[in-house]
Structure 1
């Protein structure tokens, strides 16, 4: 029987073709899904990873709200040109507390997986207010209102509670003091900085927007950007080994 004859039943009968497609998709789905039920974890634990602080979490919510992910990915691929431009390739564990994660594939602007600490707070503020002031060829729109909008902190505790439901290891104390910790990180002189540092050891606390008089959306977004890619000590990982 010719190859055409073997496939003729599918080519001439749409119902059988549809059934065949469903069967093949089902097999592929089972191969992908079933192992997840018996694997203890699909993400290797990585030293240094921690949940977002309330201020960083609020900043991430603003990042998603403003659609920053549509032009900036947060995923460095294990390719030589990627590593040379952006640094060590992304680990799955770096997004273990992200829902949804921000890996993506669209890059109108640069990847932001390692942007934390690369620029000063002032640079980020200027860039967000008027991108052309620091990058003349940028096509990014400005977000000057972030520096003017007071950050709404009323539901930040609920945000932590919801993340805890999905497995983010926030403690009861961190949830209870979510709003106080948010204020303390953005304004150490006005907030309970001792309590914040105890609940989030080693985390930077300062007026990210340059104005300690209030907590703005700019505070939150800059705090989020400044921690991206800073949690994992890549001196412990030979990230380039398989590219040599």
Structure 2
């Protein structure tokens, strides 16, 4: 084997051909699954889109590096499922650009954190994690509750998402800023438009406890509260699997 490798290294043309062959095999193995993507991604007719406020929250999540300590992918291992809930499906990340699966769990996985805790718990946790989880080593993000959310560019964010396949409509893009206000201010005239465009399952409330203002805390909590709740497919998959057991 080593003799063949030495001879190959001394033959420039042969070495180049070998590199091309090996690279082609590796490239094929990466590209081939894309041709069956429609077979590997589950159907989820009830899959809904992130609202502008949730998109803003996701951007803050990325900006603050939350993905470095929290994964968003529950593996099919028994321990993962028993601790966090139904294992993650490919369709749940259908509209995630970029993906936030993560590979490190300094903190717990967040794929099913939506609805697990109250808004007040999340606010307290983000301001000072030790107030609700004494052993936490997570830093506090107190400024989020004091920083007004920037909304004037949200329509551009939605338009960019549409370019990579997320089916936002022209109406959704045009009303992005108003919908961000409406989702966090349930008594405002903008609130009705949010549910009309994104569905009755959309969370519409003052996430940071301050209904008279829109903050980055509103956005981040809105995003956290929707994780694992964009579709019921994982729960239906679990139910069908359990029902098939003898």
Q: TM-score, normalised by structure 1?
A: 0.90
Residue 153 of structure 2 corresponds to: 155
Determine whether 1:8 maps to 2:6. Answer: yes
Structure 1 residues 28 and 161, CA, compared in 2 at 3 Å: closer, same or farther? same
Structure 1 residues 137 and 13, CA, compared in 2 at 3 Å: closer, same or farther? farther
Structure 1 residues 6 and 28, CA, compared in 2 at 3 Å: closer, same or farther? same
Residue 232 of structure 1 corresponds to: 231
CA contact (8 A) 1:181 1:191 kept: no
Structure 1 residues 23 and 215, CA, compared in 2 at 3 Å: closer, same or farther? same
**Unpaired runs of at least 5, structure 1:** none
Structure 1 residues 41 and 172, CA, compared in 2 at 3 Å: closer, same or farther? farther
Q: CA RMSD in A?
A: 2.2
The SS at the match of 1:227 is coil
Alpha-carbon deviations, 1:193-215, whole Å to 9, x = none? 22221111121100000011100
CA contact (8 A) 1:43 1:92 kept: yes
Residue 49 of structure 1 corresponds to: 47
The SS at the match of 1:238 is helix
**Unpaired runs of at least 5, structure 2:** none
- 1:45 is displaced (CA, Å) by 2.5
The SS at the match of 2:95 is coil
The SS at the match of 1:224 is helix
Q: Within 5 Å, which residues of 2 pair with 1:1-244?
A: 3-10=1-8, 13=10, 20-34=18-32, 36-37=34-35, 40=38, 43-201=41-199, 202-233=201-232, 234-238=234-238, 241=241
- 1:43 is displaced (CA, Å) by 2.5
Q: How far apart are the structure 2 equivalents of 1:115 and 1:224?
A: 10
- After TM superposition, the structure 1 stretch with the greater mean CA deviation from structure 2, 197-206 or 121-130, is 197-206
CA contact (8 A) 2:49 2:198 kept: no
Q: How far apart are the structure 2 equivalents of 1:17 and 1:76?
A: 43
Structure 1 residues 78 and 240, CA, compared in 2 at 3 Å: closer, same or farther? farther
Q: TM-score, normalised by structure 2?
A: 0.89
- After TM superposition, the structure 1 stretch with the greater mean CA deviation from structure 2, 81-90 or 19-28, is 19-28
CA contact (8 A) 1:88 1:240 kept: no
The aligned length equals 240
CA contact (8 A) 1:121 1:222 kept: yes
Alpha-carbon deviations, 1:25-46, whole Å to 9, x = none? 2212123214525765652331
CA contact (8 A) 2:49 2:230 kept: no
- 1:171 is displaced (CA, Å) by 1.2
Q: How far apart are the structure 1 equivalents of 2:2 and 2:156?
A: 61
